[in-house]
Structure 1
Amino acid sequence: MLPLMIDMKNKQVVIVGGGKIALRRLRLLKEEGAHLTVVSPQVNDEIKNLAASGKIVWKKKEVCTEDIKQAFLIIAATNDPNINEWIAGQVSGHQLINVVHKAEIGNVQVPKIVKKGKLIFSVSTSGASPLLAKEFSEKFASLIDKDIEKKLEEYHQYREQLKSSNLSEEERKKALKQKLDLDKL
């Protein structure tokens, strides 16, 4: 697996299932601006409320091939492994699929993600232990203080200013390196 950062804004995402794991994935993807459709005969109250308020689409039914045909990303999160595996078998080569009960049959895994301002990091155990990934990421996140978040924001603004300057690329790199000064972090 290759870790990538993917802009999910306005991407079509179908989540099949309406339980706790489906909701976790939904929250994550909603925060990133994806267009979300949940396909499930039953969903939990939070998913019902999101659908009632028009923030997501809920198809109250069993999944069929037509439901996932146009999706960029499909999350197979039902409580039935046979349905999840069937969904994985329906995706085309250009679609991404996360199968929550058996990550290895999908082509995407969702790591534990931590955001601290502009700093984003993720931890994966390749499906071996989501609990360990969560614990490790929480320990690492506790090492990051507000000063680092603030410095990263300042660095970003400085970098944007340098991009529009008349400095050569080499001069910009030197200025950025001096501004960052890793010894002070």
Structure 2
Amino acid sequence: MGKLTLTTFVTLDGVMQAPGGPEEDSAGGFRYGGWLTPFHDEGVGAFTTELFDRAGAFLLGRRTYEIFADYWPKRTDPTDPIASRLNGLPKYVASTTLRNPSWPGTTVIDGEQLQSEIVRIKDGLEEHRELQVHGSGQLAQWLLVRDLVDELNLEVYPVFLGAGRRLFPTGGLPTAYELVASRTTPNGAVILTYRPTGRATFATFG
């Protein structure tokens, strides 16, 4: 059985919206798209390669899927560690509106079936393989609220924005995590891997 992992780029103030470019996602009047790019370095690249090496399948929200589907099928180098996995492995899209996806290997999952399908997909993966979620803000929040994330990779970049969609939803269940891995990249990104340990607990010093 595999596990579901969520990998997300966030700013110091927790913003995850439009890391890759100004036109990626301007919802809500967001004007700071592309905030990650100046900090991308070989350390981030090395982690990304390791991450995709563990992939067994992908689960994406509709918006992220459409961004990926517009870019990655055009990358056909079989030695590319990202393109080869995204193009060759099964892709599942959580959507009630997507019809007839053109990217080979894509299955659309309606929201009502999503939780049971996640269990089925994980059961079908080899041990140590991952059902990977990348970005996909609304889907990520849906998964976190329902305790469906087995492992969380936070790539924290040294920039503060003060606006934008944040990762952790208001009203989510208070959850404690254990840190299982960490690294710092040359340009100051911190990559943290956490696993949930159960409900958060509260106490007073002394």
- Structure 1-normalised TM-score? 0.36
Say which structure, 1 or 2, has more relative contact order (CA 8 Å, 6+ apart): 2
Q: Hey, which of these two has a bigger chunk of strand by percent? A: 2
Q: Which has the larger radius of gyration?
A: 1
**Normalised by the size of structure 2, how large is the TM-score?**
0.34
